[in-house]
């Protein structure tokens, strides 16, 4: 990976911090985006030095920051239920800004990079023993859409029926929701021998991500002249992406988390971002 990548990433997050601060006048977002940007930039630097542990460390640094500091200590619901809640409340902060940057608009640039470097659910799941799928992919993708619809309807229902103490409900929903996500994710990982089974079949956020990730600028591409079709890259991919096909329509192309396991596994140096 080019050593310039950390500098570019840090610059992007500085720009985001300035823009969001200008729009909200909230100094929290300056510290917030500088921390996340610096953490991810450090991770990119370590990856450039071929440090295999880099991504896990930065996922823990960013994921635990959002889960513990912003979510639990700050009483902000950063799950999808929180996004709909703040959006319906007309509050353009917290989860709304997070989703806009990381999961709706941002993926037009970096695809599902959030899933590979900052997700607080995946930071735990990636510590499990099944880094690559041990079984054929299931046709369970519809589950994410059902969960997406249920969450939307549930939050909308709270507003329609004018339920009181919504802030408290959202906080408890954040705690309970994360416990359920971890439990389901761990069970699926061991059941299917696939750390990322939750991401592939259940995570409702991917409904947003799949749309914008299709047009992502940052993508893993293959140099056909160098490729010897050994398939090591495909076998090493935790998301079952066919990176030997440069088309946007490649198999599971919208699920690439830019973990670069495929790039590292290629001895021919045929893959790049």
What pLDDT digit, counting tens, does each position of 132-184 carry?
887 888 899 899 999 999 999 999 999 999 999 999 999 999 999 999 999 99
Boundaries of every domain in the chain? 74-213, 219-273
Give me the mean pLDDT over the 204-223 stretch: 90
Strands 221-222 and 271-272: antiparallel
CB 16 within 8 A of CB 33: yes
Vertex 106 angle, CA 249 and 52, to 5°: 80
- Cα-to-chain-centroid distance, residue 67: 13
pTM of the model: 0.89
Give me the mean pLDDT over the 209-227 stretch: 89
Q: What is the model's pLDDT at position 77?
A: 95
Q: What is the model's pLDDT at position 2?
A: 56
Give me the mean pLDDT over the 256-266 stretch: 87
Q: Two tokens at 86?
A: 């703040």
Q: Is the pLDDT of residue 58 over 60?
A: yes
Scored b (16 or more CB within 10 A) or e, 168-202 reads ebbbebbeebbeebeebbbebbeebebbbbbbbbb
Per-residue confidence at 123, pLDDT binned at 50, 70, 90?
Answer: very high
Domain 219-273 has CATH 3.30.70.20: yes
The residues that bridge with 272 in the sheet, in sequence order, are 221
| H-state helical runs in the chain | 4-24, 28-48, 54-64, 80-89, 94-99, 107-110, 113-117, 122-125, 142-160, 166-192, 197-201, 206-213, 232-236, 261-265
Q: Is the pLDDT of residue 252 over 70?
A: yes
What's phi and psi for 253, nearest 5 deg?
-60, -35
pLDDT digits (tens, 9 = 90+) for 78-96: 999 999 999 999 888 778 9
Q: What is the model's pLDDT at position 3?
A: 63
């Amino acid at each position: 990976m080019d050593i310039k990548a950390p500098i570019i990433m840090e610059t992007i997050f500085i720009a985001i911090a300035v823009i969001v601060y200008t729009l909200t006048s909230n100094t929290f977002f300056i510290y917030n985006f500088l921390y996340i940007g610096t953490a991810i930039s450090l991770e990119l630097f370590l990856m450039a030095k071929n440090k295999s542990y880099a991504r896990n460390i930065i996922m823990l640094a960013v994921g635990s920051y959002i889960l513990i500091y912003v979510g639990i200590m700050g009483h902000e619901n950063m799950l999808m239920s929180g996004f709909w809640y703040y959006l319906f409340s007309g509050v353009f902060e917290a989860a709304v800004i997070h989703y806009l940057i990381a999961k709706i608009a941002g993926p037009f640039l970096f695809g599902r990079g959030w899933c590979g470097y900052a997700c607080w659910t995946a930071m735990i799941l990636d510590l499990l023993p099944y880094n690559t799928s041990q079984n054929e992919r299931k046709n369970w993708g519809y589950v994410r859409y059902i969960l997406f619809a249920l969450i939307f309807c549930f939050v909308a229902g709270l507003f329609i029926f004018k339920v009181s103490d919504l802030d408290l409900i959202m906080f408890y929903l954040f705690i309970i929701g994360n416990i359920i996500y971890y439990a389901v994710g761990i069970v699926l990982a061991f059941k299917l021998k696939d750390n990322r089974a939750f991401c592939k079949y259940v995570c409702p956020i991917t409904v947003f991500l799949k749309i914008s990730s299709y047009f992502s600028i940052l993508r893993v591409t293959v140099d056909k002249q160098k490729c010897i079709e050994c398939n090591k890259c495909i076998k090493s991919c935790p998301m079952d992406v066919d990176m030997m096909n440069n088309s946007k329509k490649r198999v599971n192309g919208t699920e690439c988390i830019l973990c670069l396991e495929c790039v590292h596994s290629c001895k021919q140096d045929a893959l790049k971002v």
